[in-house]
A and B are shown apart, each in its own frame.
Chain A
């Protein structure tokens, strides 16, 4: 035990720690020689893409590893006590009291059949030996501290009766309840919408100041990390490739992988958009489009007159000019995907669509010519391709359906499409499950452009990809748009990305349009308050843009 006084001694020290999983395909090393330390009051961020092992590190520290995991070496010290040597009883006593955790998805991390109050009091009664009444009042105070408006009512509610933000506050209150030495935050804001996420970040900063607790903050979002963390470790395939003070690492990243992560961050100032369209006559315009998801049945209307029809989106009108990229921004539930489904006839709608001068007043009216010229690409790469078909046949289908190419040339055209999206031609004979997420999304984009459309609707095509892959996907889309002259409706929740790509931006909220404006007018002062809030909520790193190197093959 080193003799440094308590104040300087790190709360958490991970020293050369390695571990591996036993799987059907043999032993896989998940963490290789990881070292880091966190002092009281310090927030150390672990940054890395999916599969980098950052969450595994969290389970290693809390000693909650699955049966097929094995520690290979190194030590994990909590206030210089080696966690690997702890017995099960010691661990149960230590967890919740000296070490706590905040999870990514609040709705699945709370017991659905227990009131929120009980889930806080049980920690107090377990570790601080409080009586039920003391625990209840202390829990109420803890909830109040996290900014929950009516803590007493919240105590009696069940998880499904609270919003995502409120549930995350309850989890945070539970974590801070016993004033632990270390709290691990595992992507606490990823599952929340931007505004709520912002509030949770503010709450985190306040509580950290108040309690001086040491925090390990795990995230894939570099922008967010720059606001909360003092020090950072960059994790790539289980190894810490870079570590140190956050400011210095982000200012001058030494390792190529860190550089690439930073470069991939979308910055509004790095404009990628193609040349703006010259003509003002719109290619397609939506007029007063409305999509209804639920109309109460006759019986329900009879018995509960107050139930009202529920609309996904209502009174939506905007237009797209040929070759233009229109950004549609909004949180989940804002109705942006509903409009994509309406525009491609996947869901019946009210109102009219005017495309290239022709009027369509219902989903059934969308004829084959319309469907060829308007293509759509979806969010989840895994769900976009039919697992039972080879990539070649998937790409050939639009060619055959619209017989764009004589039968003999189909194979050649498929190879061209693959090259167009930077994929080797021999992928044609592979099946979707043999490709990575990024590669599958490229095939989906190639399939859309195979029909030589005049408009491509991209419904959150980057949302399920890693940051680095998102950047290359955006650039690919813009290149294809330039080459084909097609217009594009780019739907996303990432304001910075859309400001990079779009000529015009439409902001949506709760099924209605807040406002629409040209991309360059985003920073204008007369923007609607909701838009202003969105802009402020997403921090932008002030690093100068660095040219992106080619993608690291592993993805």
Chain B
């Protein structure tokens, strides 16, 4: 991984950030109504509205607002949330941590479960495992999160059998066990779609490796089936598997938005929907920026992991 490639990737990330912020700024500002109107709601007399707009700085020309905001970001100050009257960094910060807990757990569960599942389906091609996983993967990818979430709520968190709490959050630092019970259903919802998709991809990658010349050569060398799978097939399927997972991180970050809304998980997703409904521009900007950076970094990290797993891959 030589220097020029790394610099080019980082420059690309910065360019993307610029595009994202301009786009978000343009989008949220062209709409009718603004944060002040939303705060006052039906108490918005003309006089009240003008006062609040002045207080929130919404009366300044668009371009001035944008460059003030950018100069703030460069200094690390993301500005104040229009609706919540709190520094955006604080509001988005705590939400970010909660969302990363959710995304992290979902990603871990997905990786631990879907890779072996996919491998099993590929190795035992044509058997009941294969078709079973095939059906699971098709059903999984066809259920939107809000349907899965609602069904899980009805099944596991209804008053009839409250196995899991129906949403809500517990601080992992204070009581990790309680936190896990709260996180169980959201992680399951997020994970289901991903597991279905990734196990199918791993299955097709593994099948290709199993039909490769070098696996055939390994078998003809008389190596035990276990060694052929563990030493020749799996290592070479890891790189494409990681590539598939990194592609789905975007889907995961999107899915968070819906799952947090349903399970009352105080994360970025829910904050974003609240900010969008209330035209809270600085918060929308901050969240979009954070999600885009997380997405770009995860792609970069997965590229590094792939380079580590597959010696052929050189970035130059």
Contacts and interface: CB of A to CB of B under 8 A. Distances in A.
Interface of A: 62, 64, 91-97, 100-101, 103, 105, 108-114, 122-123, 126-127, 158, 160, 171, 174, 299-300, 302-304
Contacts of B218: 111
B308 to A, nearest CB: 10
A299 B4 contact: yes
Contacts of B310: 112-113
Interface in B187-243: 212-214, 216-225, 227, 231-232, 235-236
> 5 closest A-B pairs (Cβ-Cβ)?
A96-B222, A95-B222, A108-B213, A96-B221, A303-B4
B222 to A, nearest CB: 3
A100 B220 CA distance: 7
A114 B309 CA distance: 11
Nearest to A63: B220
A127 B222 contact: yes
A100 B212 CA distance: 18
Contact of A111 (B3, B7, B224, B232): B232
A94 B3 contact: no
A160 B307 CA distance: 14
A8 B131 CA distance: 52
A112 B2 CA distance: 21
12 contacts: A96-B222, A96-B223, A100-B220, A101-B220, A103-B213, A111-B214, A111-B235, A114-B235, A126-B227, A127-B222, A174-B221, A303-B4
A299 B213 contact: no
Contact of A158 (B8, B225, B311): B311
A304 B224 CA distance: 46
Given A105-B213, A112-B310, A299-B8, 11 more contacts: A62-B220, A92-B219, A96-B223, A103-B213, A108-B214, A110-B217, A113-B236, A114-B235, A122-B227, A122-B231, A304-B2
Contacts of B7: 299, 303
Contacts of B221: 95-96, 100, 122-123, 126, 174
Nearest to B214: A111
A161 B7 CA distance: 26
B75 interface: no
A113 B216 contact: no
Given A64-B216, A110-B217, A304 B4 contact: yes
A95 B222 CA distance: 4
Contact of B4 (A108, A109, A300): A300
Nearest to A92: B222
A103 B216 CA distance: 10
B220 A95 contact: yes
A113 B220 contact: no
B213 A114 contact: no
Please tell me the size bucket of the interface on B.
20 to 34
B4 A111 contact: no
B310 to A, nearest CB: 6
Nearest to A58: B220
B235 to A, nearest CB: 5
Contacts of A93: 222
A111 B311 CA distance: 11
Contacts of B222: 91-97, 123, 126-127
Contacts, number: 87
B158 to A, nearest CB: 48
A176 B225 CA distance: 22
Contacts of B227: 122, 126
Which among A95, A110, A112 has the highest number of chain B CB atoms within 10 Å?
A112
Given A122-B227, A299-B7, A111 B220 contact: no
A108 B220 contact: no
Contacts of A95: 219-222
Contacts of B312: 112, 158, 160
Contacts of B3: 303-304
A487 to B, nearest CB: 42
Contacts of B223: 92, 96, 122-123, 126
A96 B220 CA distance: 6
A74 B211 CA distance: 28
Contact of A113 (B213, B224, B235): B235
Given A92-B224, A122-B223, A108 B212 contact: yes
Nearest to B2: A304
A280 B216 CA distance: 57
A109 B220 CA distance: 11
A108 B312 CA distance: 12
Contacts of B236: 111-113
Given A100-B220, A109-B217, A114 B232 contact: yes
Interface in B50-88: none
Interface in B1-51: 2-4, 7-8
A111 B235 CA distance: 10
B17 to A, nearest CB: 19
A64 B228 CA distance: 14
Nearest to B212: A108
Interface string B245-276: 00000000000000000000000000000000
A304 B225 CA distance: 46
Contacts of A100: 220-221
A93 B224 CA distance: 9
Indicate the member of B3, B212, B213, B231 with the most A CB atoms within 10 Å.
B213
Contacts of A94: 222
A407 B185 CA distance: 72
A268 B259 CA distance: 76
A215 to B, nearest CB: 16
Contacts of B217: 101, 103, 109-110, 171
B215 to A, nearest CB: 8
A188 to B, nearest CB: 13
Contacts of A299: 4, 7-8
A110 B217 CA distance: 8
A304 B7 CA distance: 13
A76 to B, nearest CB: 15
Nearest to B225: A92
Contacts of B214: 108-112
A523 B34 CA distance: 89
B216 to A, nearest CB: 7
Nearest to B3: A303
Nearest to A97: B222
A97 B218 CA distance: 13
A204 B235 CA distance: 32
Contacts of B224: 92, 126
Nearest to A297: B4
A110 B4 CA distance: 31
A113 to B, nearest CB: 5
A136 to B, nearest CB: 17
Given A95-B222, A299-B7, A112 B311 contact: yes
Contacts of B220: 62, 64, 95-96, 100-101
Contacts of B212: 108
Contacts of B232: 111, 114
A123 B221 CA distance: 6
B304 to A, nearest CB: 16
Contacts of B2: 303-304
Task: Specify which of B216, B227, B309 lies most central, judged by the most chain A CB atoms within 10 Å of its CB.
Answer: B216
A174 B214 CA distance: 13
A17 B311 CA distance: 43
Nearest to A301: B4
A110 B218 CA distance: 9
Nearest to A111: B214
